[in-house]
Amino acid sequence: MNLEAELPDDDKTYGTKQNALFQWLKENVTRSTRIHVYTALLVISAFLLLCRSLTFMYMCIASSIALHSAAFKRVIGAKMRFFDVNTSGKSYKISFSLICCNTLCNS
């Protein structure tokens, strides 16, 4: 079936429905309207990007606070024997690894 033979010469590319739509847009939509629509799409896109970034940042902050609160409660709730048996160097290594994890997660 040869569809090109059924269409007039000016309708070969898109077909009659697409050409009618393009013709209507060409006649009824001005250049300033197109610019306004494009600008609105850009502003909406930028706003959604900002919302996504802020949401991710707040989620990271909330998880970091929860992690540190849990770790702090465990350290405060530890028996004194833990601090007598373990040197301060071991505690420093543990806290340093937590700092490294948070730095990598927040980057």
Dist CA 55 CA 49 (whole Å):
10
List, for residues 37-53, the tens digit of each pLDDT value: 999 999 999 999 999 99
Q: What is the pLDDT of residue 13?
A: 54
Dist CA 33 CA 1 (whole Å):
41
List, for residues 5-14, the tens digit of each pLDDT value: 555 555 455 5
The model's pTM: 0.50
Dist CA 107 CA 88 (whole Å):
28
